[in-house]
């Protein structure tokens, strides 16, 4: 039984690590999308591309969220 208990603890820690990565990935994707849009705004002399970058970053964060949740459900 102790070997199985150790395996369950390791699985729990791995799951916690997978879910905690979302706390970094989601905001990072949002900020990176915003910065890319901001850079394009300055380069192309526009004032609205930062919003497109922001929205695409948020979408990328949600896609990663769904991928992590679905991959953990399949295991």
Instruction: Give the pLDDT score at 4.
Output: 60
The DSSP-derived string for the chain is -HHHHHHHHHHHHHHHHHHHTHHHHHHHHHHHHHHHHHHHHHHHT-SSHHHHHHHHHHHHHHHHHHHHHHHHHH-
Per-residue pLDDT of the chain (75 residues; tens, 9 = 90+): 455 666 666 688 887 887 888 889 999 999 999 999 999 999 999 999 999 999 999 999 999 988 988 887 666
Instruction: Give the pLDDT score at 27.
Output: 93
Instruction: Give the pLDDT score at 16.
Output: 83
């Amino acid at each position: 039984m102790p070997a199985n208990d150790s395996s369950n603890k390791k699985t729990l820690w791995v799951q916690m690590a997978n879910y905690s990565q979302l706390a970094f990935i989601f905001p990072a994707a949002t900020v990176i999308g915003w910065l890319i849009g901001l850079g394009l705004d300055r380069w192309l002399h526009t004032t609205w591309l930062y919003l497109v970058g922001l929205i695409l970053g948020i979408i990328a964060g949600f896609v990663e969220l769904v991928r992590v949740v679905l991959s953990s459900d399949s295991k």
